[in-house]
Amino acid sequence: ICRLRESGAIDDLRCEFHAIESVNDQLAGVLRQIAQASYFKYYKVDLYKDCAFWNSNGHCVLRDCAVETEDEGFQPFQKCDYADTDFCVAQDDDSTEGVFVDLQKNPERFTGYTGETANIIWRSIYEENCFDIPLQLRRLQNDAGDSCQQPAHRLHEVNECKEKRVFYRVISGLHASISTHLCQEYFNVTTQEWSPNLECFMSRVGRFPERLENIYFNYAILLRSVFKLQKYLTDSTYCIGNPEEERWLKAKVEELVSVCLTLPETFDEKQMFTGPDAIVLKEEFKDRFRNVSRIMDCVGCEKCRLWGKLQTRGVATALKILFSYDNTELPIGFELDRGEVVSLINTLNQFSKSLSAISSFHRMYHQQHHSL
Ligand code: FAD
């Protein structure tokens, strides 16, 4: 399917959907196991930062918006690596702000967060893509009498540079992945049960081939970054304080990396930031991405904020890995903190779950339509 569209929107991605799906079949099991390990399931996050952009007092009081946090002072294990952050706003386990959250106890799923407050967040995030809008789009917007109101749906239609299109696709893919999770674990008020909701999925993702592609696109970016990080991941010590679990986890991470080594090349980051304005564009890309991570502080639903922040950081970490050095050896001075590695692996796991959910929705759709 990718190949069919290669002349168009998806030319950044050398892939085939089926190839990515079969990769996911190999990776899903080990990824789920790694995400359950205490090193990866405890994530420190400041859920109560002030929103820097507007007065966000419309907090969600719905039961399923709540996050179950660990007690203050909880320390799940010894400290490991420290470093500054690049694409994302600084945040690490040492920070006095924030609490540990057990991600396994707080899955990303339907919360009931909806309406204008949720829409404003998505609109603001897409508007971050408004940097240096091409003239053609400006004219379109002026004609329509709005200034950058609907870039999400139009940017890709304009002859855009690759970097900006990648930015849009990353955001749209994250949005589609979140939608997939909330439809996969949807709360049915009639039966009072959590179950997949096919109509929810079709109306938000399934009927939009581009949104589906963008989920695959993010998965490919994340995989590529894990591939590049292979040596760091296999050389790292996962200090948990329990040697048996540390050995088990190291073996699982080695298994994950060994599958990644067999993958076809999915995303070629070397094609990005190569033109005459590469340095300026890269800085702008980073700034815009940092802003997306700040916008997440304005999300009015705790659970959505938790996963929004984590996944923005995960993608930011992948981009940092892809665009900061060339080969699979980390350059001297390039470091990652635990939060970055934890967010990267959990974000890959979330996208992997989205791919699994897409396959299962696909089967449900065919069963329903063949039985009619
Ligand atoms: P929205 O999903 O709010 O979309 C708004 C508009 O954006 C759509 O009308 C469409 O035109 C466009 N659009 C939609 N998807 C895409 C796409 N993939 N690419 C490009 N354009 C698109 N709700 C939960 O139940 N659980 C969660 O965990 C959760 N996490 C969230 C995290 C964040 C950061 C935010 C901002 C919201 C979250 N929500 C969550 C709310 C959820 O994403 C929706 O906003 C909500 O369900 C209302 O949906 P909607 O139908 O109004 O469309």
* Tens digit of each residue's pLDDT (9 = 90 or more) over 320-356: 998 888 777 778 888 888 899 999 999 999 999 999 9
Is 15 among the catalytic positions? no
C-alpha 172 – ligand 1 centre gap (Å): 10
Catalytic entry in 60, 65, 298, 304: 304
In this predicted model, which residue has the larger pLDDT, 328 or 47? 47
- Picking from 85-99, 207-221, 300-314, which range would have the lowest pLDDT averaged per residue? 85-99
Distance CA(323)–CA(14), nearest Å, equals 18
pLDDT of residue 243: 87
C-alpha 179 – ligand 1 centre gap (Å): 6
In this predicted model, which residue has the larger pLDDT, 144 or 125? 125
**H or E element that contains 198:** helix 198-201
Phi/psi at 183 (nearest 5 deg)? -80, -30
Ligand 1, atom nearest to 108 Cα: 28
ipTM: 0.99
In this predicted model, which residue has the larger pLDDT, 70 or 270? 70
Ligand 1, atom nearest to 179 Cα: 43
pLDDT more than 90, % of the chain: 49
**Atom 53 of ligand 1, residue of closest alpha carbon:** 119
**Of 28, 170, 186, nearest in space to 107 by CA:** 186
Phi/psi at 193 (nearest 5 deg)? -130, 155
Ligand 1 pocket check for 111: Cβ under 6 Å: yes
Distance CA(293)–CA(321), nearest Å, equals 17
Distance CA(291)–CA(168), nearest Å, equals 14
Residue 271 — very low, low, confident or very high, per pLDDT cuts 50/70/90? confident
Is 2 among the catalytic positions? no
Pocket test for ligand 1, best of 116, 182, 303 (most atoms within 8 A of CB): 182
Burial pattern 189-223, b for ≥16 Cβ within 10 A else e, equals: eeeeeeebbbebbeebbbeeebbbbbbbbbbbbbb
Distance CA(300)–CA(217), nearest Å, equals 28
Most confident of 73-87, 229-243, 290-304: 290-304
Ligand 1 pocket check for 299: Cβ under 6 Å: yes
Q: Give 213-278 as a DSSP string.
A: HHHHHHHHHHHHHHHHTHHHHHH-----S-HHHHHHHHHHHHHHHHHHHTSPP-B-GGGSS-STTH
Q: Give 118-187 as a DSSP string.
A: HHHHHHHHHHGGGTT--HHHHHHHHHHT-SSS-HHHHGGGS---HHHHHHHHHHHHHHHHHHHHHHHTEE
Ligand 1 pocket check for 83: Cβ under 6 Å: no
Residue 250 — very low, low, confident or very high, per pLDDT cuts 50/70/90? very high
Residue 186 — very low, low, confident or very high, per pLDDT cuts 50/70/90? very high
Ligand 1 pocket check for 267: Cβ under 6 Å: no
In this predicted model, which residue has the larger pLDDT, 177 or 54? 177
Q: Rounding to the nearest 10 degrees, give the CA dihedral for residues 27, 34, 305, 334.
A: -90
**Atom 1 of ligand 1, residue of closest alpha carbon:** 119
C-alpha 122 – ligand 1 centre gap (Å): 7
- Amino acid at the residue 232: Y
Average pLDDT over residues 156-162: 55
Distance CA(351)–CA(365), nearest Å, equals 21
pLDDT of residue 7: 31
What would the pLDDT profile of 188-232 be if each residue is shown by its tens digit?
989 999 999 999 999 999 999 999 999 998 998 899 899 999 999
Ligand 1, atom nearest to 176 Cα: 18
Ligand 1, atom nearest to 119 Cα: 3
Q: What is the pTM of this model?
A: 0.88
pLDDT of residue 201: 97
The backbone region for 24, taken as left when phi is positive above 0, alpha when psi lies in -120 to 50, beta otherwise, is: alpha
Task: Name the binding residues for FAD.
Answer: 109, 111, 122, 172, 175, 204
Average pLDDT over residues 33-56: 91
